[in-house]
Structure formats: structure tokens, C-alpha cells
Structure 1
Amino acid sequence: MAALRRNDSRVIIHFDYDCFYASVLEAENPTLKSLPLAVQQKQIVVTCNYEARRRGLRKLQLIKEAKQICPEVVIILGEDLTKFRDVSKSLYGFLKGFTWSQKAERLGFDEVFLDVTDMIDYNLSLLNHHDLANSFFCLDRQDPTVGFQFDATSYCGPTYPQSTEISLLGTVTTDDHNLAQRLILGSHLAYYMRSRLENERGYTATVGISTSKLLSKLVGNVHKPNNQTTLIPPYSPKASVDEISNVDRFIDDHEIGKIPGIGFKSAQKIRSYILHREATFEPYTERDEKDQVKVRDVRLSQSMGPPKLLDILGGPGAARDIGVRTWGLLHGVDNSEVLEARSVPTQISIEDSYQGLQHFEDVKKQLQLLATSLIKRMRTDLIDEEDRDNAREDDGPRWIAHPRTLRLSTRRRSPKNADGSRDYSFTNNRISRSGPVPKYMFSLAESAEAVAEKLVDDCLVSMFRKLHPDKAFGELSLINVAVTNMVETAGDDKQSSGRDIGKMFKQQGSLASAAVETNQRDDEMHQGTASGNLPDAAVGTQVEDTAWEESDEEDVPSTQLCDVCGSHIPLFAFRAHALYHAAPDV
């Protein structure tokens, strides 16, 4: 068995806003709080409030079925994500404001990870162990009066497993006692933040407290909604007794597909191995009890370990460490860092899914809608708000970053089987085209709709034609338009890469490496296409994986194609050329 080393020196808090879409609508119209409310996208209930759930509604239910179950349900269309995105950014900024390290990572619209280790360490050093019941948690190192009182002898809120004060601090090892004391502080900080979030912003959240992103996310689900749970020690089994740790006990009861980091395809392969047959359910569907496989079933399976998991999950396109990594996840090992807050997104991506687009005019209409949303998002996320408010009229607002690459991705709908059914499109591959971002995308003289129309006519139609040269391109189930390869512009902020020369060169190097890697993948793609085969990395790509990007030109052996400007550059000069694109505008 490979050594599993979990970093239990951290304290990580995971926030999951309760019924987020519905909560945003209720904040706009408080009368909705007492009514069964469902948010609709396409013909699906994407979320509903707890009043609706009490009456039998659930997420991912057909609208038609929801109306039959609860005729009085209030249904609000949630196709336009602008208001949800804006609230999400606001709440993220609110929670990030409590941290010292700025390690605040947003996952989707409704989840935030906070690494508060430095805050816990500092307050742990301030504890008066002769009077723990009357402790004070300091929120500002520069002002010792800013904070709140708490009882450091016991956890705040529920725990897993449910414990008493005596079992928490009386019969554990020294290491477990230290970890328990740190998690006690984390639980009180989480409660304080939850209370401030509800009282000042009007939103409730379900919260988990542990030592990793994986464990804090999972343990928060134990008590929902508007509650919190701390996963308590012991985190490691005792050598003297035949017992498993609380981590293993907690993880063991989860269905294999519920473990973050184990995708649907991997979970299906593991289920098939354990069940000795194919599992029949599909993603996001109600799972048949007979097809469920718990983590304990896998962990205790004969000869199970990293080598066996590599045999099960390995193959073309799989990571070489997939066996070790998955085995670690099954034991609650996740040492991934909570990323520091970014003022600039890595990319801006807009997409929509369809029952089947097969006519070019329909595609063009959707490109116009997606491009308009993309331009609006760029103006919201990439323009300095303070500069926009304070700038003179002749100056105009300042862009805090310029994306260099425009990308169009599509996905075909699965063909019909002989019986008229279709395979689930989750496993279908996306195909993509990339090109340089035209300068007029940064112009504010025209409306977003006008800029989008020009973008469609000048760029996106051409990129689509190259992706689908045949007029009968089949049925499309998804279109995505994105801008990537962000380069921050010069600014007064100390974090700005335009000001920090060391950071600028570091960014240039990483972007250059990414550009070289992208073009190497492009060459492989062309070689595979010419021979009628796709390279391993292009086979079986899942939705959560990076979309495959094709080159727009034919392969030229002595040159590399620049993904930014579309030029063929001699191999010996390509790195310098990539650095040229990576340099911020000054």
C-alpha cells in the first residue's frame, strides 16, 4: 500500500449557500420566501427553495412533473445568470474580507473555500488555558479589540461523529488534542461568519470545517440547511487498537460517485469492477440502490490499492498517478491548496446547451446571444470599477486585463440508436477553434449587441465553418464562446503584474510554456487527423476536462502556429514570440 500522508496542519472552511438561485430571487422579492419557488432553465428545475422541497419538488426535475406534483409552485425563469453572478461575486468578496491570507477560492456561484490557518494559529497562541471558556477571537492583528468572545472548551455547532466535551478533550492523544483545539477555533469562526452573512447580507449557508477542501466540503453536507459540521479527531487510526479513524469512518459511508475528484467515468469503472457488471444509472439521475457502491466496498475489496486502481482506471489519456491519487481520495487525502483570491479571472466563458441545433441560421442566432453575453461579462469583470467611477470623460475606464485568445467550442448531440433512444451526451467530446481577440472587443463606443454582431460576422462564423465544414453538420447540443490567455495591464495595485516586474516575468514564462504546450497539442491533433486517428488525449474527454483545441492551419513541420495571432513562427524563435504576446501593455 502506498503511503498516504494527509496535511492536517490546516483549517479550511467550506461555505455552500443554501438554495442559491432561489435565495437571490427571494432577496429581490421577500414574499417568495413563504411560497414554493422553483427556478427554471430549459425544461428543468435547476433549484428550488425548501418550501418547494417540503411539497415534493427536487432539483433536476422536469418542469412538467413539478407542476403536477405542486400545482401552486411559482416558477421563475433563470436563463439569464447576470443577477446570480453579481450576487455571487459580492458574497465572495464579503467572505474573503474576513481572511488574512487572501486564500479564498470560489467554486461555481454558490461555494467558497477559505483557508484560515493563519488566523487559527494566531488565536491559538493567544488562548489563556486557565480560562478557555472565556476566550476572545481576534479578527485583526493590528487591532486586538476587533473580534468576538467564544468558549474554547467545546465545538460550536454539530460535529461528526457526535461527541461530548469529555470525549473531545479528555481521552485523545496529544496530537489529537492539538488538532481538536484548532478545529474548535475554526468552528467558532465559521459560526461568526455565517451569522454575519445572514444578518448583513440576508443569505444562509451550509458550512463544513476540517483540514482539507475534500473533507470540509463533504462534512458540510451532514447537517443541512443553514448549519455547520466539524469533522473531529482522531484523524489517524491508533496503532494500539484495531480502530479506523474518524476520517475513514466518515468517507466509508459515501457512494463512490459522491467523492469530489472522482468523475463519472472513473466511478462507473470502479462500480463495474466491484459489482462484476455494468452499473445502469446515468449522471444526475436517481441512483438505483442495487447499483450503489460505497467507499468501504472499494477500500476493503481484496487486493485493492493504487496498483489495482491504476489497472481499473488507467489507459489512453489517463494520468499516470491516477491510482495513487484515487486511493488517496478514498482515504480522505487531499492536499490541494486553497487558491489565493484573483482580481482577474483566468478566462471568461459563456455557453448554452440545446436539444439539437441543425440549421446554420439557428446557430448564428445563438452565436449572437452568446457573444453579447460574453461582451457584457468582459465589461463587468475586466473593467476597473473604481477607475470607471473616478475617470474623466476623455480618459474612459481602464481595462485591468486583456484576453489574447478567442475560442469557439461545440459539441454534437449523440446520434439516435436503433430503438430511437440516444446515448447520454455527457461522454461526447467538445471540439474547439481558437484565434486572436480582435481589438474592437475592448471598444466601449458601441453597445455590447453591436460589438457582438461584428464579432459573429468577422470571427465566429468563420471559426464555426472550420469546425463544421459540411453544411449538414448534424445536431449540436452545446456551443461555448470564451476568451482566455489573460494578460493583466499596468496599474497602481501592488498585485498588478504591470507593476510587479518579478511577477510579470513569472507570468510571461508560464504563458510561454502554455503556448508551447498548446501548439505541441495542435501538431499532435493534425497528425492524428491526417492518419484518421485521434491522439490519446483527445479520446473520451469528459465535460470537466479541458476542451481540446484544434489548430486553424495545416501542419507545417518547420514552424509552430501561434495560438494568439495565428502566425507560423520558426521553431527557434517561437519562445521569444510567445513572450512578446505575454508582455502586458504599458
Structure 2
Amino acid sequence: MDDRNMDTSSSPSFDVSHDHPKSIIHIDIDCFYAQVEMLKNPELRSQPLGIQQKNIVVTSNYEARKFGVTKCMLVTDALKVCPNLKLVNGEDLHDYRAASNKIFLLLQSWKCPVEKLGMDENFIDVTNLVQEKLKTNMDNITIPGHLYSEPSIDCPCGCHIRLKIASQIANEMRKRIYDDLGLTTCAGISHNKLLAKLICPLHKPNDQTTIYPEHGSSFMSTLPSVRTIPSIGTKTTEALISHKIISVRDLQEVPLDVIKEYFSSDMAVRLKNLSMGEDNTPVRQSGRPQSIGLEDSFKTVSVKSEVEEKFTALLQRLLILVGEDGRIPVSLRVTLRKKDVKRLSSHRESRQCQISSSLFTINSGSVSVTEGGQQKLMSIIMRLFNKLIDLTKPFHLTLVGLAFTKFQERMTGRGSIVNYLMNDLSVQSVLNITNDCDTSASSMDYSAASPSSSTTTDLSDAEVEPSPKKPKKVTWIAKRRCLSREDVASPSKLKVGELRLNSRELEKVSELRLNSRDKSLTPRASPARDMSETSDNLRDIAEGGVCDDCPSYVDKDVFNALPEEMKNELKAMWKNSSNSEMPRASTRNMNKSKPNTLLKYFVPQK
């Protein structure tokens, strides 16, 4: 135990009436990159080790830190303070990502929400797990590791006992990570994410610290800079410092009304609460990353061929990460950092576009690029580059980046089940309705409709995946076949007059027309009589359970296959038509447009 009884007389008083129901654990991996390298090569454990990216030592093991090697130190400076420093190139993040995913999966085995923060930090909300353990006999609970300060009184909400249980769970998690993965960790335990994260590194390495809610404000007052609060960024820090608010204690003591003079009301309240150690941010369960990207920084590049080489190297590494992720990318982003010689500063610009899923294939859960797919991706990358850079003028780049920013979980290419279902949907309907345009749907080359088969068309506005309600192929066919009439969004929106029954119905319609023509040649034939006979047939159909006596122009099998609601609608329409007074048939009446009803799909159109 670490009994750090601190003077809280100058700190804001603690309101014991507040409830503190949450139990949050923050776990941080000790010198993460260095530990991964030491697991790969155990000989490095006894040597001062630094992980190098470009000319920076991004992290080091604790042997190197004894000599004064610090995070993000220049390699030249690190070698000065530690000449025996062993440097390992850490620009390839593959092994680090793999280790991070293993830790995340292991923590999920506790069935609690886990939120990743970078590759080496995780928040775990163990509130429900603590409540379950409270149901058992939990007498004489001890706190593993350290306690920030002993409480003077017990909080009436019962948070002390809950945080004691949470500290035991944290100890179990850390032990499991070490036993299964060989990695040491530190942990912070509190009632919110802010205090859990900030208290975590207090006793590094390979240890843990618990802090009670009543000590939150006193602990925050010891932080030297407002920048140490995770939610406060660089610009906010600069704004606070410009108004003589430097330390967290300064932020605690300044009146809220004064802060509101410089920030919005909500922001001012937020800053004040953070300075007191108050934070109600929930632990959000992390899913798969929304984007996978890589960047390469350098002093300056001013030649297009060199930029293309760097993009090629980034793309090769990025495709490895995508292959392990198992999802199909459908959007690509290119990022450049330009150096402005006049302003002696740099700024980033990016451009992205959608890409075809047919450039990738899935085998055994792993995604790989198709033959020629990488070349197509490079063409897209360089096209985006050309949109960002005016090659007629000199340019200076200090960074290039690539990222896949959107993913889909399943294939939708030509050989996919989704594509099969879309084709099936596009050619089937209740009546097999087809269009009377000359071009046949069966003779169409569907690949022409898909942007995946084109390497010259800009894919920025291409659809990623057709909606089941509006299949892309159906849309394209409808537009090609009825271009001379009207562009339509789907076959359901085609004019009824442009639709025809299939060949089976057409034969019956032709037979009906021939019979009608023969009757018209007979002197005794009467249109009114024909309509009366038809009405009788319709009445019989409406009164029957099934269409046993369908009119000659109605296919019985098709009618019987319809849903009951549609059958009833047809029966009702036929019944109404039989009861109403039928007008005398004439050429003029036949040429008039009929109302857009379901009956029109069963009646021949002229």
C-alpha cells in the first residue's frame, strides 16, 4: 500500500451526496514497442533498447531510460546519453498491431465493454462484473498494488468496496496478459475514465494504483500543466496559458464566469469539471477500425516519380494490413503534407474516392488483391495525387499517406452470392414483365454497367454496393432499354404502357384478340354482349376461392401464385367492373389511357 495522505485543505470540498456507480479500469502496456521486440529477441532484455522511426527514438525499454533516453528523443541525442543503445527499426507496425489485437481479444473474455485507446491502452468498464461479485461473500477485501490515499470516511454510495473489487479484477487481467502474452502492464482503477487514465502511470512499471472519488480533485491539483488532461488539446492549452491559466490548480481556482469569457458556456463547464476530476464519458465498446492507413514523412520530395515510389511502398504494406483485417476496402484516401516556402510551414490536404470491391478477393477470411488490382489502385492513387498537386508548378512534400477508409464485410463482385441474388431479383417478377424495346436483357453485358470493370472512369461517384431496393443492374438496364423515352430509377417506375406480359401471356392475348376479331365480323356480334360475358366470368372469379375460371387472358398459375392480399384486390376490382355499367366499346375509348391499377398488368396494352 502507498499511503499518500495529501493536504486537501486548499482543494475544493468533496460532495459525498454524489453517487459513483461506475468501476473503470485503464490498462497500459509498459514500453509496448520495446516489449514486443524483446519478446522476439530475448537477448535485448538485458540491453538498453530504443525503437527507431526515422531519426526519432519513439520509445525505449527501462534499461535505456536509466541512462536518460526519453520518448521521442532524436537518435543523435539518445546515442550521446547512451552510447551502448541498441536501436531496432520500428517503422513496420505489423507485429505491434498483432500484439495489440491479442491483448484486446484477451480483455474481451471478461465480457465487459472494452475501449481501445491507441495500440497499447484499453479502458474496461467492469461495473456489471463488480455487481455480480458483490452478491457473493466479499469480506476483508484488500487492494492489490497501491492506493492513492486512504479515505477519512466511507462514501455512502458504496464506491469504496466496488473499487476494491475492481482493483482485484484489474490484477487478474494484468496477470493473465503476462501469463498468456508475456507482457507487463500497469493499471489505474477509479470511478471514471479520466482518473483511471491519469492515475495509471503513477507506479510504473508492472504495477497498479486505485484512487477513490473523494481524492480526485486533490490528485488533479498536483498535475503541472492543463495539457496533461487528455481532453484538452494544444489550441485550448494555448488559450488557457494566454490568460494565465497554466496548471490544473489554476484552472480549479479560476471562477467559472471568467472561463466563460474566453470559451463557450458548455466548454467552460467541461473544463471546470475536468479540473476537478469529474468525467461522465462512457466506455464505448471498440469495434473494428473505421480506417486502416499508413504515412511516410521525410524532409522534402519534389519529383513525381519519387512520390510514386513512396506510394507504391505504402500500398504494399497497406495491403498486408488489409489482408489481415479480412474486410474489403471500398474507399481510398490520399494525404499529402505540403511545405509552404513563403510561410515556412506545412499543411495537410487529402482527397479520396470510392474503389471497386472487385479489385479484391476473399480466401479463408483473408483479403488479397486480384491480378492487376495493385496496378489499378496505383492508377487511382496517382490520379488523386494529380488532383492535389499542380504539376505545372514546383511542389515540396514532407509527408504522403494512404488509407482505406470504408469497408464492407462481404463480396459483391460477379462471383458473389450477393451478385447472384441481385441478378435473380432483376429478372424475376410476379408476371415476368419485360420491356418492348429492341435490346434484350439477356444479351446485355452486365460488366459494362459496373465501375469495377473500368480503369479510366473516375470512380469518385460510383456506388459501393447496390441497394436491394434499387439494384444497380436493373437501373442500368432500364435506362439503356428505355433511353429514348424516360430515364427511370427502377423497373417498378416504368410507365405501365411500356410494359408487356411475357410470351405465355402474349399467346393468350393474341388468341383473345383473334376471337374478338372473329366475333366483330359476325353480324350478330355485339361489344356489349362480349363485355357482359366477360363480366360474368369476372364475377365467378371474384366469388371463388381460387381462379378456377380465370378469363382467357389471365394465367391461372400466375394468379394462384400471388399473395392473398393481391388476389383479393384483383377479385374486388373484377367484381366492381362486373357490377358497374359497361360503356359501349369504341376505338376512341380503347385509345384512352387507363388508370394505373394492378389490373393493367393482366390486360393487354396497345
Confirm or deny: 8 A CA contact 1:206 1:226 kept in the other structure.
yes
1:257 corresponds to which of 215, 227, 233: 227
Q: Which residue of 1 aligns with 2:285?
A: 340
Q: Which residue of 2 aligns with 1:369?
A: 313
SS of match in other structure, 2:279: coil
1:74 and 1:300 map into 2 onto residues whose CA distance is: 46
Question: Are 2:206 and 1:226 equivalent residues in the alignment?
Answer: yes
Confirm or deny: 8 A CA contact 1:412 1:476 kept in the other structure.
yes
Question: Are 2:211 and 1:201 equivalent residues in the alignment?
Answer: no
Confirm or deny: 8 A CA contact 1:403 1:487 kept in the other structure.
yes
Task: Kindly provide the CA deviation profile for residues 154-185 of structure 1, in whole angstroms up to 9, marking residues without a partner as x.
Answer: 32211112x2xxx47xx32422xx10000000
2:268 and 2:307 map into 1 onto residues whose CA distance is: 42
1:404 and 1:248 map into 2 onto residues whose CA distance is: 47
SS of match in other structure, 1:66: helix
1:7 and 1:353 map into 2 onto residues whose CA distance is: 48
Q: Which residue of 2 aligns with 1:191?
A: 171
Question: Are 2:33 and 1:21 equivalent residues in the alignment?
Answer: yes
1:357 and 1:37 map into 2 onto residues whose CA distance is: 31
- Counterparts in 2 of 1:310 and 1:353: CA distance versus 1, 3 Å: farther
1:211 corresponds to which of 179, 186, 191: 191
SS of match in other structure, 2:244: helix
2:461 corresponds to which of 557, 566, 578: 566
SS of match in other structure, 1:156: coil
Matches within 5 A, 1:283-302: 293-301=246-254
Q: Which residue of 1 aligns with 2:244?
A: 274
Question: Are 2:336 and 1:410 equivalent residues in the alignment?
Answer: yes
Q: Which residue of 1 aligns with 2:485?
A: none
Cα offset, 1:72, TM superposition:
1.0
Confirm or deny: 8 A CA contact 1:105 1:114 kept in the other structure.
yes
1:579 and 1:326 map into 2 onto residues whose CA distance is: 48
- Counterparts in 2 of 1:456 and 1:479: CA distance versus 1, 3 Å: same
Cα offset, 1:93, TM superposition:
1.1
Q: Which residue of 2 aligns with 1:544?
A: none
Question: Are 2:361 and 1:434 equivalent residues in the alignment?
Answer: no
CA RMSD of aligned residues (A): 3.2
1:451 and 1:371 map into 2 onto residues whose CA distance is: 14
Confirm or deny: 8 A CA contact 1:371 1:452 kept in the other structure.
no
Task: Kindly provide the CA deviation profile for residues 417-465 of structure 1, in whole angstroms up to 9, marking residues without a partner as x.
Answer: 6xxxx55x5xx4x322121123344136997697674145420101011
State the number of aligned residues. Answer: 408
Q: Which residue of 1 aligns with 2:408?
A: 487
Question: Are 2:75 and 1:122 equivalent residues in the alignment?
Answer: no
Cα offset, 1:232, TM superposition:
1.6
Matches within 5 A, 1:40-79: 40-79=52-91
1:183 and 1:486 map into 2 onto residues whose CA distance is: 39
Cα offset, 1:199, TM superposition:
2.4
1:218 and 1:451 map into 2 onto residues whose CA distance is: 49
Q: Which residue of 2 aligns with 1:174?
A: 156
2:199 and 2:98 map into 1 onto residues whose CA distance is: 28
- Counterparts in 2 of 1:415 and 1:256: CA distance versus 1, 3 Å: farther
Cα offset, 1:223, TM superposition:
1.0
SS of match in other structure, 2:243: helix
1:459 and 1:214 map into 2 onto residues whose CA distance is: 43
Structure with larger Rg: 2
Confirm or deny: 8 A CA contact 1:194 1:205 kept in the other structure.
yes
2:350 and 2:469 map into 1 onto residues whose CA distance is: 21
Matches within 5 A, 1:386-535: 401-413=327-339, 415=341, 422=344, 425=346, 428=347, 430-443=348-361, 453-472=374-393, 474-489=395-410
Cα offset, 1:39, TM superposition:
0.6
Q: Which residue of 1 aligns with 2:47?
A: 35
- Counterparts in 2 of 1:267 and 1:451: CA distance versus 1, 3 Å: farther
Q: Percent identity?
A: 31
Confirm or deny: 8 A CA contact 1:7 1:211 kept in the other structure.
no
Question: Are 2:353 and 1:353 equivalent residues in the alignment?
Answer: no
Task: Kindly provide the CA deviation profile for residues 327-379 of structure 1, in whole angstroms up to 9, marking residues without a partner as x.
Answer: 3322223222212242x321212222222222211111111111112211111
Cα offset, 1:7, TM superposition:
7.2
Confirm or deny: 8 A CA contact 2:351 2:388 kept in the other structure.
yes
- Counterparts in 2 of 1:468 and 1:46: CA distance versus 1, 3 Å: same
Confirm or deny: 8 A CA contact 1:105 1:112 kept in the other structure.
yes
Larger RCO (alpha carbons 8 Å, 6+ apart): 1
TM-score (norm 1): 0.64
- Counterparts in 2 of 1:259 and 1:579: CA distance versus 1, 3 Å: farther
1:106 corresponds to which of 116, 126, 132: 116
- Counterparts in 2 of 1:354 and 1:455: CA distance versus 1, 3 Å: farther
Q: Which residue of 2 aligns with 1:503?
A: none
Confirm or deny: 8 A CA contact 2:69 2:81 kept in the other structure.
yes
- Counterparts in 2 of 1:119 and 1:580: CA distance versus 1, 3 Å: farther
- Counterparts in 2 of 1:115 and 1:84: CA distance versus 1, 3 Å: same
SS of match in other structure, 1:413: strand
Matches within 5 A, 1:226-245: 226-234=206-214
Unaligned runs of 5+ in 1: 134-151, 235-245, 276-292, 315-319, 383-400, 491-497, 499-562, 569-574, 582-586
Confirm or deny: 8 A CA contact 1:269 1:313 kept in the other structure.
no
Which amino acid in the other structure matches residue 198 of structure 1?
Answer: Y
Cα offset, 1:67, TM superposition:
1.2
TM-score (norm 2): 0.62
Q: Which residue of 2 aligns with 1:142?
A: none
Confirm or deny: 8 A CA contact 2:28 2:122 kept in the other structure.
yes
Confirm or deny: 8 A CA contact 1:104 1:340 kept in the other structure.
yes
SS of match in other structure, 1:274: coil
Q: Which residue of 2 aligns with 1:584?
A: none
Confirm or deny: 8 A CA contact 1:56 1:69 kept in the other structure.
yes
